[in-house]
């Protein structure tokens, strides 16, 4: 399974997505709106526990409550 996780992360990076941070699910909407207001395309993904860095104790309890926010610049995509 670890191999699939790396493939997913690598694919997102190849597509120009930049990982911003991990946040509790109930706060996702406000950050999606914020990044959209900054002319960013936003993608929200479920947490993949093997990708987490630093302390992961919260995720061990119930990682389904968290999401990872990715963004990419709309203007850069339009220029390609």
- Listed by start position, the domains of the chain span 2-79
Helix, strand or coil, per DSSP, at residue 77: helix
Helix, strand or coil, per DSSP, at residue 36: helix
Q: What digits encode the pLDDT tens for the residues 1-53?
A: 455 556 677 788 899 999 999 899 999 999 999 999 999 999 999 887 666 66
More confident residue, 78 or 72: 72
pTM, two decimals, is 0.77
- The Cβ-side half-sphere exposure at 44, using a 13 Å CA radius, reads 17
SS3 content of the chain, % helix, strand, coil (to 5): 55, 30, 20
Q: Distance (Å, rounded) from C-alpha 42 to C-alpha 79?
A: 18
47 and 67 in contact (C-beta within 8 Å)? yes
């Amino acid at each position: 399974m670890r191999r699939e996780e790396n493939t997913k992360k690598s694919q997102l990076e190849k597509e120009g997505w930049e990982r911003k941070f991990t946040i509790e699910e109930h706060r996702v909407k406000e950050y999606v709106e914020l990044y959209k207001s900054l002319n960013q395309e936003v993608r929200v993904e479920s947490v993949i526990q093997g990708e987490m860095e630093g302390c992961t104790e919260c995720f061990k309890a119930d990682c389904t409550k968290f999401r990872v926010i990715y963004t990419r610049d709309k203007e850069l995509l339009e220029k390609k």
